Structure 1
Amino acid sequence: MRYISRLVLTGMVLLLFVHVRSQTAAPALIPYPASVTPAKGEFIITPGTGIVYDTKDGFDLSLAELSRLIPSGKSLPRPSAKVIELQKDAAITSPEGYQVNITEQKVLLKAGTPAGMFRAVQTIRQLMPLSIEKNPATFQSMKLPALTIIDEPTYAWRGIHLDVSRHFFAISYLEKLIDAMALYKLNKLHLHLTDDQGWRIEIKKYPQLTEQGAWRTFDKNDSFCIRQQKDNPDMAIEPKHIIQRNGKTLYGGFYTQQQMKDLVKFAAARYIDIIPEVDMPGHMMAAIHAFPDLSCEGGSKWGELFSTPICPCKESTFEFAQNVFTEIMEIFPSEYIHLGADEVDRRSWEKSELCKELMQKEGLKNSAELQSYFVKRMEQFFHSKGRKLIGWDEILEGGISATANVMYWRSWVPDAPVTAARNGNNVIMSPGNPLYFDNLPDAHSLSNIYHFNVVPEKLSAKDAKFIIGAQANLWTERVPSENRADYLYFPRMLSLAERVWSKELDFAAFQQRLPAHYNRLEAMRIHYRLPDLGGFAENNVFTDQAVLDIKKPMPNLVLRYTTNGTLPTVTSPVLGKPLTIKQPVTIKLAAFTANGLRGDIYTLNYKKEKYLEPVTVGKTTNGLQAKLYKKYLLNTKGMKPLQPDSQFVAANAAVPAGVGAPSFGLQYSGYIDIPETGIYSFYLLVDDGGVLTIGDKEVVDNDGQHAPLEKSGQIALKKGLHPFRLNFIEGGGGFTLQLKYSKSGGSPMSIPDSFFKH
């Protein structure tokens, strides 16, 4: 056995608990362990506390992590009575399972594997003061609560994805992300290294890939970010990734092979695998611009939706691909390699004489099977190198091998993971809704992630075993900075972490534990999204006066506002008490932490108006008239000149069962029966677009194609019937339509069916 004494950090001792500290309080751990038994007392770490371990157990990385958390001090001739002990326990059979037992006399960490021991250390890390996330210093003592934890993960694949092609991210940011992943027990980092907009990894056999493909002039998404930075500094493109070359301003960058090898080592020390993705045969414009002969027609251009792919009918294409992946495999030792194989515009293949000949020779009936031919040949190559292939769920379309791994993302193809699992293929669940983190977060995001069904309901217990976990993806077309990436990852990453690790799920308890982690994220220099503010609508009305009274989601937040159109800053007036509003005004409002981190900026428009008079109509019937348009629409206005495909009566403003075309529009019309006079707020959550009109007033405009997003508005209504119209469109990818209301600042609730008449 060996021991190490440690000096620990000075400063305020801050333990993470859901409620005020008591002898039996449950710790605010995320993800929450399978079993936690609080006990009386606490273990006090002092400069004389030793760390005891057996060198044969292979716990060196866990020891290194403890050494990082508890800085080295003067060695003692023997361990003191109070020690932290790392013990191997063969009875713990889960590869990442562990146990923690903390008493007043000892901290005992047990695991059957080094990975499990490392997860145990991360649990201890969450119990430590926030100061351990900052620069270490000497200390006098640090306390850990007495408790017993027994824990293991629910799913083997607990992943985060980052697209470094559309916008580039420094190694230092990737290290910060990996450290946060480790803290919350995530274990797979999927790096999307190449795409049309950039080639980010050095390939020594083909230096042109980075010499040319790693740099670009600003594109339309860069222009969008530049426009947005006026109202949000996080949308500014980072200057460190901009260069001047031959009189042109270029954006980009790439990782050398050595940089990536070092990052792989950094991640491995935290038991995180880095999964590289070199996306092909589609999304290869950056490579084809450097090597035009890679495509069937020479060069690459944009089609209706996607770029020209590489040609699977040339042996030279496979030579190129195999050479690239040979170097990728030398950098990344991961068991899995991601081929991509999504969103392929196959029209150039259908025109190619070479492809026609190959299809006839191989007995391929269509271009989908030709794509499958490419994927299967690449999988055979991966197998020859001892690796496993992952592809996006499009690899199912032309037929799939029994050994390929499927990453499911297309929410609008709900049977894809079911088909793959029933075929015996491992499936990683990563649907756009709710696991595409480039979709803007709102008040529902954490709940949607937490309640996501990792295993599709259609699967039997036998087939469910092929669902190996889930992953959140961050596509970065409109994520130009590290701060913006942080904002989109956190705290949604924490909700995902608990969803894929914890055995028992309790969202209300998760919400109670979450505030303690905001403080830790800030100590880790993570630019997280602050909790939502509530108690108002975006467009507010009043007849005499209104009162803006906000209950802060965390007591340490400071609310600041402006009324002159400028953005709130740390020097703006404080909203410390209810604000009475008697004249029309636009208020910009934001919450700030003590360290100056600013939350979302809310623009609140206040308008003075009279109560809307009800209408008098004849006999009415319950429900709303509905018109269905089976057409792809960019916005709700596109339905106006069309003839509906069908008409029916709906009980409420929700998509009825049976309406499931990939793209469609719905128009609801009738009346809403208001039970009493008052100021009513309406909250419209839609994916894609929706517009609510009551009387002659547009109450909520949430139009256009976008991910699930809630917008709100107010209207002053007298008791009685008011004309009601709700237009909704679904562009494909899975729909959401939810309309709620509140009166006089109350909590949002569903609208009773009895309110709707026609």
Structure 2
Amino acid sequence: MKSISKYLSAAALMLTCAGGAIAQETASKFPLIPYPTHLVAGKGSFIIKPEISLIVESGTPFKSEADEMNKLLLKAFGSNRKKVAKNTMRSIVFAYDSSISSSEGYKLDITLSGITIKAKEAAGAFHAVETIRQLLPVALETGAVQKTLSLPVVSIEDEPAYEWRGMHLDVSRHFFSISYLKKFIDRMALYKMNKLHLHLTDDQGWRIEIKKYPLLTEAGAWRTFNNQDSACMKRAKDNPDFTIDKEHIIQKNGKTLYGGFYTQEEMKGVVTYAAAKHIDIIPEIDMPGHMMAAINSYPYLTCDGENKWGELFTKPICPCNETTFEFAENVFSEIIQIFPSKYIHIGGDEVDRTNWGKSDACKALMEREGIKDLPALQSYFINRMEKFFNSKGRKLIGWDEIIEGGISPTAIVMYWRTWVPDAPVKAVKNGNTVIMTPGEPLYFDNQPDQYSVSKVYHFNPIPKVLNAEEAKSIIGAQANLWSEMIPSEKRADYMYMPRLTALAEMLWTHREDQYDSYLQRLTEQYKRMDALKINYRLPDLPNLLNEYVFTDEGKLSITAPLPGLTIRYTTDGTLPDMKSPVLPSPLSIKKTELIRVAAFTPAGTRGDVYSLNYTQQQMLGPIKIAPPKPGLNATYYKAFFKQTSLMKDAKVDSAFTTDKIEVPSTVKAPSFGITYKGYIDVPTDGIYSFFLTCDDGGVLYIGNNVVVNNDGNHSAQERSGQVALKMGAHPFKLDFIEGGGGFKLLLKYSVNGSAPQDVPSSWFKN
């Protein structure tokens, strides 16, 4: 630290900065997320009284940030907060500091007699105010009037590790109100996030007013209920968070329609609101694909006038007609007037180019321009639009597909396709700036589980193959919240909180070794989320399996993951509610049955429901195998399967032997299946638990029992189960399928409640 106030006793200080662990006592006293780059804690507290003065040193650009601080004080003290004469002995001072290198960096000194905030730019001063906010009592968030406030004595020097700390919100598939956008912005600001990427248009809805093309919102903003709405309605029967927000449903011309849009004036208001909190809103108008909502009203945008789904995606607009570029430039001209951000996102993902190849206009253009293939034709569209953006002083961002046909080095690439791991590397080596948004773990619309927060916290945006100089092209990361299955504001809250806090710390502090401290601080942050009425996902109930077995008696004990939570259960198949009995410790289980458990807050909010199947089972006896050979026999199927059971009738491509449950590096097919078969030779009697992680699907059999069912096409998820085994060899089979888009396969075990670990290779026989 360059300077420490005389009010801090050197003997009392504990340094908690990069290179040092955060002590438990300090994490409790300073439950900040993200944790500061450098923090020195002192003894004592500064007492804030209603008459404290705010001083902005002359010539500094921090008036708005001082106003934000004053809003906190007004909220805390109510009518007791009075304007007073400047009192430098009991004041909060905003000062300029040219030595701070980061535009978002700040210094915060809280002493026994006052507070000093130093920054070089206004964003840094604002982040300092948000740090103070997190140190103030949670009661402030509820509007409870205070007589005084207390802040711990501390000296902080802070700046972010990454320039781009973003959140994405898809308002096209399901629509979100202006008031919710502002809540979303408030929460981002609290945790020092600085980029909000709004996905404003897609096949399912056009959400921003374009005055030159009024049908985009008059027609394109509304739809009859689609298959995603129906799926949400079905799930709403068990979970009210899936209930579609009624404010977005209207009756028109005898039809029930879902949708909505933002007027240009409304969105300008949101942009101004975000700017005051130093959050940049980046608009996305997705082109040339995902344009069904526009093509419905303006069919001339396609090459053949058709507007329908292809094999995977909808038909795109045509890059071979000048009318297409006229439309695109007119739309983006209005977008540029609404959003002052220097970044404009054009999408560019998931384009079905089939019709382009059939178009005479496209054939002529490709011959005239020397365009060799359809990916290059898409790049022609993107590159031309980038030149238009540049002429308006803006920078183009696109999803990583834009690199496939060649892209200029000035375009910014947003990487999302985890199954194309070399895409960000290729972009960097092409000279492009890259923002990391990989589906695993940063698609926050993926159902969270017990590992989700940890995966986000430990995510490293820098690909390992990049050197230090190349790594500078990775400017940060963001999480994406796609809303196909997020029909309500409560469901949105649940999906991104608390994962946003893990992302915030990863991008600001970037200290993977502070995870335990982060979890402790997160426990304190839940109280603030409660006060802010955020419908966050309650922490997972610990150490639960999907399937249990017992021989004589099963016992279920669950420790509540947060103070104040109550665990309730049912045995009749119904969902637990506040009237369900409290789970005893332990619950004795003496017959095969389904136990459903859930945690409840004192306010009655229910966490995830866990369905625990208990099966009474005799221990499986071993079988004799002679002479045993090491490893498992594996058969490889080069085909697409929706379920593992479909492999039994498929043609075998090849066979191999392996002593590990893993996919060989020689497998290159985008879709395939593998069956691992043989015996598992366990060294002792016991209840064996198995944990099977699959992307896409897998089923584990031991003896004649299905031990873990993780079947189907889905992203990486863990399923678990148990089997009672006597010492010796038992028939073993594991079916695994990959549907395309990247795979993951992992099998772990535990015995009699031990910690999960890899299955030893020596156990596998054939």
TM-score computed with the length of structure 2 as normaliser: 0.94
Report Cα offsets for 1:275-323 as digits up to 9, x if no partner: 0000011000000001111101103100000011111111111111111
Q: Which of 508, 533, 537 matches 1:529?
A: 537
Q: Which of 53, 59, 62 matches 1:59?
A: 62
Q: How does 1:24-173 map to 2 (within 5 A)?
A: 27-71=30-74, 73-79=81-87, 81-134=89-142, 136-173=143-180
Mapped to 2, the partners of 1:743 and 1:124 lie a distance apart of 48
User: Given that residues 428 and 469 in structure 1 are in contact (C-alpha distance below 8 angstroms), is that contact kept between their aligned partners in structure 2?
Assistant: yes
Mapped to 1, the partners of 2:141 and 2:746 lie a distance apart of 41
Matching residue's letter, 1:69: L
User: Given that residues 411 and 433 in structure 1 are in contact (C-alpha distance below 8 angstroms), is that contact kept between their aligned partners in structure 2?
Assistant: yes
Partner of residue 10, structure 1 = none
Mapped to 1, the partners of 2:520 and 2:450 lie a distance apart of 15
Report Cα offsets for 1:120-144 as digits up to 9, x if no partner: 111111111111222x243112211
Q: How does 1:75-474 map to 2 (within 5 A)?
A: 75-79=83-87, 81-134=89-142, 136-474=143-481
Over 3 Å counting, the alpha-carbon distance change for 1:730 and 1:26 in structure 2 is: farther
User: Given that residues 216 and 251 in structure 1 are in contact (C-alpha distance below 8 angstroms), is that contact kept between their aligned partners in structure 2?
Assistant: yes
| Shift, 1:25, TM fit | 5.9
Matching residue's letter, 1:243: I
Mapped to 2, the partners of 1:696 and 1:128 lie a distance apart of 59
User: Given that residues 100 and 110 in structure 1 are in contact (C-alpha distance below 8 angstroms), is that contact kept between their aligned partners in structure 2?
Assistant: yes
User: Given that residues 430 and 436 in structure 1 are in contact (C-alpha distance below 8 angstroms), is that contact kept between their aligned partners in structure 2?
Assistant: yes
Report Cα offsets for 1:190-237 as digits up to 9, x if no partner: 000000010000111111001110011111111111111111111111
Q: How does 1:706-725 map to 2 (within 5 A)?
A: 706-725=714-733
Mapped to 1, the partners of 2:215 and 2:695 lie a distance apart of 41
* More moved, 378-387 vs 608-617: 608-617
* More moved, 394-403 vs 726-735: 726-735
Partner of residue 588, structure 1 = 596
Mapped to 1, the partners of 2:218 and 2:535 lie a distance apart of 32
User: Given that residues 684 and 702 in structure 1 are in contact (C-alpha distance below 8 angstroms), is that contact kept between their aligned partners in structure 2?
Assistant: yes
Mapped to 2, the partners of 1:251 and 1:175 lie a distance apart of 22
User: Given that residues 25 and 38 in structure 1 are in contact (C-alpha distance below 8 angstroms), is that contact kept between their aligned partners in structure 2?
Assistant: no
Q: How does 1:604-623 map to 2 (within 5 A)?
A: 604-623=612-631
TM-score computed with the length of structure 1 as normaliser: 0.95
Over 3 Å counting, the alpha-carbon distance change for 1:511 and 1:619 in structure 2 is: farther
User: Given that residues 536 and 548 in structure 1 are in contact (C-alpha distance below 8 angstroms), is that contact kept between their aligned partners in structure 2?
Assistant: no
Q: How does 1:456-605 map to 2 (within 5 A)?
A: 456-506=463-513, 507-605=515-613
Partner of residue 685, structure 2 = 677
User: Given that residues 440 and 707 in structure 1 are in contact (C-alpha distance below 8 angstroms), is that contact kept between their aligned partners in structure 2?
Assistant: no
Matching residue's letter, 1:249: T
* More moved, 431-440 vs 502-511: 502-511
Partner of residue 9, structure 1 = none
User: Given that residues 61 and 270 in structure 1 are in contact (C-alpha distance below 8 angstroms), is that contact kept between their aligned partners in structure 2?
Assistant: no
Partner of residue 15, structure 1 = none
Identity among equivalent pairs (%):
57
Partner of residue 14, structure 1 = none
User: Given that residues 667 and 725 in structure 1 are in contact (C-alpha distance below 8 angstroms), is that contact kept between their aligned partners in structure 2?
Assistant: yes
Mapped to 1, the partners of 2:342 and 2:203 lie a distance apart of 26
User: Given that residues 535 and 551 in structure 1 are in contact (C-alpha distance below 8 angstroms), is that contact kept between their aligned partners in structure 2?
Assistant: no
User: Given that residues 23 and 39 in structure 1 are in contact (C-alpha distance below 8 angstroms), is that contact kept between their aligned partners in structure 2?
Assistant: no
Report Cα offsets for 1:670-712 as digits up to 9, x if no partner: 1112222222221111111111111101111111111111111
Mapped to 1, the partners of 2:338 and 2:253 lie a distance apart of 32
Mapped to 1, the partners of 2:24 and 2:344 lie a distance apart of 46
Over 3 Å counting, the alpha-carbon distance change for 1:554 and 1:746 in structure 2 is: farther
Matching residue's letter, 1:599: G
Q: Which of 748, 752, 755 matches 2:756?
A: 748
Mapped to 1, the partners of 2:119 and 2:688 lie a distance apart of 56
User: Given that residues 436 and 472 in structure 1 are in contact (C-alpha distance below 8 angstroms), is that contact kept between their aligned partners in structure 2?
Assistant: yes
Mapped to 2, the partners of 1:695 and 1:230 lie a distance apart of 37
The secondary structure found in structure 1 opposite 2:217 is helix
| Shift, 1:21, TM fit | 9.2
Mapped to 2, the partners of 1:756 and 1:221 lie a distance apart of 44
C-alpha RMSD of matched pairs (Å): 1.7
Mapped to 1, the partners of 2:236 and 2:453 lie a distance apart of 26
Aligned residues: 740
Mapped to 2, the partners of 1:300 and 1:613 lie a distance apart of 61
Partner of residue 638, structure 1 = 646
Partner of residue 8, structure 1 = none
* More moved, 258-267 vs 124-133: 124-133
Partner of residue 7, structure 1 = none
Which 5+ residue runs of structure 2 have no aligned equivalent?
1-20
Matching residue's letter, 2:678: G
| Shift, 1:659, TM fit | 3.1
Mapped to 1, the partners of 2:88 and 2:460 lie a distance apart of 48
Over 3 Å counting, the alpha-carbon distance change for 1:369 and 1:117 in structure 2 is: same
